[in-house]
A and B are shown apart, each in its own frame.
Chain A
Amino acid sequence: MSAIKRNNVRVSGKGNQPIMFAHGYGCDQNMWRFIYPAFEDNYKIVLFDHVGAGNSDETAYSTAKYNSLDGYVSDILEICTELGLQDVIFVGHSVSAIMGVLAAGREPERFQNLILIGPSPRYINGDGYIGGFNPEDIEGLMEALDSNYLGWSANMAPVIMGNPDRPELGEELTNSFCRTNPEIAKQFARVTFLSDNRKDLAVVETPSLILQCSEDVIAPREVGEYVCRNLKNSTFYLMKATGHCPNLSAPEETIQAIEDYLAGVLL
C-alpha cells in the first residue's frame, strides 16, 4: 500500500523546500493547524498521520511492525521516498521529535534541519538521568491504559459542529481530530514511554532546533538540555509557553521561533 494513502499524507504550499510536520502521541496532523499556514507561501508543506491516528489506514497497523519507534520511522522515510523529498526540514512534536532524530540517523542525506518540539529520548529516571518520571509512574500509566480506566477513546471523538466562537475551524476537523484507536493508543503509549533512545542522539549531525516549553511535565527542561548536550549541531531555545503543546497553546511564539531559526537568527 502506498505510504501516501496509509499515512493520509497531505501536501500543500507554493514553495519547493519541503517542510514535514510530524504529530506526537495523542493527536493527528490537525494539531499543526495554527502553524503550517505561516509557511505555505515559501515551503512545500507535508502533513501526515501516524498509523492508528487521525485518518490513517488502520488496517496497516501491525503489532509486530509498530512494536518500536522504528516502524514509525520507516513510514516517515517511505513518505519522503514516495514524494521524492530531499533536504527536508523535519518538524517533530514530542515522540515524533525522536522519530526525526532516528530518521536522520538512518538517512542523513535526506534531512536539512530537525526542529524538535518537546523531545524526550527517555521518560524514566535512572542511573543519573532525569527523564521526569519514576518507574512506578509509568507503571501506573500502563495499568491505567490496560484497564481502559481513562475511557480515552469514544469520548475523544470530537464534536465540532457549529461552534460560533470558532468559525475558522471548519468542517474538516469533524471526527478526525484526536481519534486514535484505543488498542493502538495503548501500544503506542507503551512504545513511547518505555523507550530509551539516548544513544541514538550522538550519531546525528543534522542541524537541529530544540523548542523547550517552560513547565512541560512530559518533557521537562532537564530533558531538553540533555538532548541539546548530546545532539551535535543543536540549538536550545526556551519558550515562554507552558505545557507540552506550544504549537497549540502558543502558535505565534512557535512560528516565530522556527522562522528565526531557519533564517539563521537563532544560532
Chain B
Amino acid sequence: MSINNYEKIPGESAEELYENAPCGYLSFVGDGTVVKINKTLLSWLNYEKEEVLFVKKIQSILSIGGRIFFETHFFPLIRMQGFVKEINFDLVRKDKSPLPVLLNVNEVAGPEGNQKVYRATIFDITDRKKYEKELMAARKKAEGAASAKAEFLATISHEIRTPLNAVIGIANLIQKTPLNDQQKEYARILKLSSDGLLGLVNDILDFSKIEKGKIKLEEKSFVLKDVVHMVVSTLAVKAGEKNIDLQLDMDSNLPATLLGDPLKLNQILTNLIGNAIKFTREGFVKLVISLLEKEGSKALLQFRVIDTGIGIPEDKLEAIFEEFSQASYEINLGYGGTGLGLTISQKLLQLHGSHMEVASESGKGSEFSFSISYKISGEKPKAEVEENPAIYRRKLESAKVLVVDDTPVNITIILEYLKEWNVACKSAGNGVEALELVSGNEFDLILMDLQMPEMNGYEATEAIRRLDLTKQPAIIALSASARGDISEKLRISGFNDYVPKPFDPADLYKVLISHIGNIENEAKQDFSVALSQEEPESKEGDRLAELIAEPFDLSYYVKVTKKKEASLEEILFKTIKAFEEYKDQFSAAIDEKDTGKLAGLVHKSKMTIHYIQAKKLDKVVQEARELVDNEENDAELIEEKLKELQTEFQVVIEGLKSVRVNDLISKSN
C-alpha cells in the first residue's frame, strides 16, 4: 500500500467529481451563454448536454420572475462585488416544471483575458421549499385567527355601546330623583357597574384598534403640567375615598411645553395611577416625573408610578402585560378589571419607541416606570381659559338647542339634562324632521345623532350647511364610534365637534359651553349686566383686597371651587397660563396699534381679571386701550404704558405662581 495508489482511484478524478457532484455546476459568460455544465444539473433539468452547452443562456432556464430578477438585481450585484451567495431561484426544467434551487455564483477570469466567467454552484432545495410553504400557511392561519378575534371583540363592543348609553344615562338621572336610602344604594351600585362596563367596552375597542395598527401618535404642542394635573385631579377623588395619599413630584427643570401626544400620555398615566390606587389598601401612590437628559430641542422624560400596594409576585411580572391577564384569578375576583389596561399602555409606549418596566415586591408595593423622548415645543398651545361656570350658565339659558336622534330614550335623556341646565330645546327623530325644524327656527346648537333612518346625521348636517340661514348653528355629533380627535369624515360633513356615546353629563356640558360660548354676539351678551350681578359677592373681596393691597384676590376662586385643592390648583394654572398668553397678545396688539385686536383682548380678559380682582391690572388695561384708541397720542406715551402693562401682568403672574393653595384654603376657613 502506498499513498500514490489511492491518489488515482478510478472514478475520482477532478473531472469525474465535477460531473457527478451532489450539487449542480454551471458556468456562464457575460451575456448569459452557458459554457460548462455538469451531469447532475443536466439530469435535474432533463436536458442533454448538446441542448444546452453554448446553445442556451442561463436566463432561459429561469422562470420569468427569475429572469427579471436576474437582470435587475442579481447580475448587477455580481458585477459589483464579484460573487453572490445563496440566492433562491426557480429553475425551469425541460418539461417546464419548476425546480427550486439555491444559487452561489463567483466571478472568475475567463480563458481569454478580458472576458469574465461566472461559475455557479446549485443546490436542490425542493424539500426545504415545501416545508417553508407549509410554515407560511400555518402562520397565516394563526394570524388570521388572532385578527378575527380582535375583529369580533370590536364588533360586539360596538353593539353593546348603544344600549349601554341608555343604561348609563338613566343611572345618572335616577340619582338625581328623590330616593330612599335603599334606593340610593341600589342607584350607586348601578352607576358604578355601568361605568365599569363602559370602561371595559372602551378598553376592548382601544385594544383592537391598536392591534389593527389603527392608532397613530399625534404631534401637537401641549403643556406637561396640564396633562399631569388633569390625571392627578381626576384620580385624586378615588384616592381620597380610600384614604390613600396621592403625591406628585415633578422635576423643576422639566420643559414646560412639549410636542407629542397628550391624550396617549394621559391614558398611560391614568392607567398606571388608577391601577396603583386600586391595588393599594393604605399608604401612598406617587407620580414622579424627572428629566433624564436634554439635548438641543429634545428631552428624555422619565415617569414613575410608585405605590405601597399589594405588589406583584415575581413570576407574574411578565404575564400582567398580556391581554386579558391579571396576576391571578383571585385578583380578578377581588379587584375586578379587564386585564387590558397594562397591555394597552405597553402597546402605546411601543408606539413611542419606549416600553414599560416594573419592579415589585409582594406585600410591599410596586413601581411602574417608562421614559419617553419628547421634542421641546417652541409654541405655546392655544389658551383654553375655563371661565367661571356661572357666566356660561347664563349663556346656555339664552341658547336654543335642537336634539336629533332616532332613539326616543336617548332624546329623553338629553332633554332631561338640557332642562336641568335651563336650555330651551326642541327635538327631531331623524334628519328630515331636523331639516324642517332648522329651516323654520333659529338654533344656536344642534346635537346630531349619526345613524338614523331616512336621512342620517352626515347627510342632515351637509344639508343644513347648504341652507341659507342668518346664522349657522354649531353642530355636534353624537357618536358611538369616535374616540380621540374628531374624525376627518365628521369635519368634511360640517360638524364642529362631537360627544362620544355613552356620555357623561359633564362631557355634554363642556361641549355645549365651549361651542355656545364661542358665538360672537356682542350685542346679546351684556357683560356689564353680569358684572353687576356678581358685585354683592365680591364686595367682601373688594374690602379685603384694599386692606392688603394685593395685586389680586382669590376668594372668589376659593368659593367657586368649593375649597377643593385640586380644582383650585387647576384653575390657578389655567389663569396663569391665560395671563402669560394675554401679556404677549396685549404687547403685540399695542405695538401694532391694532385697535380691533386690542378691543377683543380687553373684552376677552375682562372676566378673568375681574374674578381675581386684579384692580390695578384692570386699570392699566383700560388706560392702555384709551391711549391706543385715541390716535393722536405719541409713541413714547404708549411705549411707557405698554411697559407698565407688562410689569403689572408680570406682577400678577408671579403672584399667582407663588400662591400656596393649602394656605389659601386655610386662610379662608
Question: Do A and B bind?
Answer: yes
Chain A residues with CB under 8 Å of chain B are 24-27, 30-31, 33, 94, 133, 137-138, 140-141, 143-145, 147-152, 155-156, 158-160, 163, 165-166, 169, 173, 177-178, 193, 215-218, 242-245, 248-249
Out of B69, B81, B85, name the residue touching A150 (CB < 8 Å): B69
A178 to B87, CA, bound (A): 13
Given contacts A150-B89, A173-B80, contact A243 B31 (CB under 8 A): yes
A158 to B73, CA, bound (A): 11
Q: Is the CB of B64 within 8 A of A159?
A: no
Interface assignment of B358: CB less than 8 Å from any CB of chain A: no
B31-88: which residues lie under 8 A (CB-CB) from chain A? Answer: 31-32, 59, 63-69, 71-73, 75-77, 79-83, 85-88
Chain B residues with CB under 8 Å of chain A are 30-32, 59, 63-69, 71-73, 75-77, 79-83, 85-90, 133, 136
Q: Is the CB of A163 within 8 A of B87?
A: no
Least distance between A82 CB and chain B CB atoms (Å): 22
Residues of chain B within 8 A of A27, CB atoms compared: 72-73, 76
Q: Is the CB of A243 within 8 A of B65?
A: no
Q: Is the CB of B79 within 8 A of A248?
A: yes
Q: Is the CB of A248 within 8 A of B76?
A: yes
Q: Is the CB of B82 within 8 A of A165?
A: yes
Given contacts A151-B87, A249-B79, contact A140 B72 (CB under 8 A): no
Q: Is the CB of B72 within 8 A of A242?
A: no
A31 to B78, CA, bound (A): 12
Q: Is the CB of A163 within 8 A of B76?
A: no
Least distance between A60 CB and chain B CB atoms (Å): 15
Q: Is the CB of B80 within 8 A of A33?
A: yes
Q: Is the CB of A141 within 8 A of B65?
A: yes
Residues of chain B within 8 A of A163, CB atoms compared: 81-83
28 contacts between A and B (CB under 8 A): A26-B69, A26-B73, A26-B76, A33-B80, A137-B64, A144-B90, A149-B65, A150-B65, A150-B89, A151-B88, A152-B69, A155-B86, A158-B81, A173-B80, A177-B81, A178-B73, A216-B71, A217-B59, A218-B72, A242-B32, A243-B31, A243-B71, A245-B72, A245-B76, A245-B79, A248-B75, A248-B79, A249-B30
Q: Is the CB of A158 within 8 A of B87?
A: no
- In order of increasing CB-CB distance, the 10 nearest A-B pairs are A26-B72, A144-B65, A151-B88, A244-B71, A242-B31, A26-B73, A141-B65, A248-B79, A137-B64, A248-B76
Residues of chain B within 8 A of A169, CB atoms compared: 80-81
Residues of chain A within 8 A of B77, CB atoms compared: 156, 158, 177-178
**Closest B-chain residue to A134, C-beta based?**
B64
Given contacts A140-B64, A150-B66, contact A166 B71 (CB under 8 A): no
Apart from A31-B76, A33-B80, A150-B90: 12 A-B pairs, beta carbons within 8 A: A30-B80, A31-B80, A141-B64, A149-B65, A152-B69, A156-B87, A169-B80, A177-B77, A178-B76, A178-B77, A248-B80, A249-B30
Q: Is the CB of A155 within 8 A of B87?
A: yes
**Closest B-chain residue to A137, C-beta based?**
B64
Q: Is the CB of B64 within 8 A of A133?
A: yes
A147 to B133, CA, bound (A): 9
Q: Is the CB of A217 within 8 A of B31?
A: no
A147 to B140, CA, bound (A): 12
Q: Is the CB of A156 within 8 A of B73?
A: yes
**Closest B-chain residue to A95, C-beta based?**
B72
Least distance between B290 CB and chain A CB atoms (Å): 30
A24 to B83, CA, bound (A): 21
Least distance between B343 CB and chain A CB atoms (Å): 25
Residues of chain A within 8 A of B73, CB atoms compared: 26-27, 152, 156, 178
Residues of chain B within 8 A of A143, CB atoms compared: 65
A26 to B74, CA, bound (A): 9
Residues of chain B within 8 A of A193, CB atoms compared: 68
Q: Is the CB of B65 within 8 A of A242?
A: no
Residues of chain B within 8 A of A24, CB atoms compared: 72
Residues of chain B within 8 A of A242, CB atoms compared: 30-32
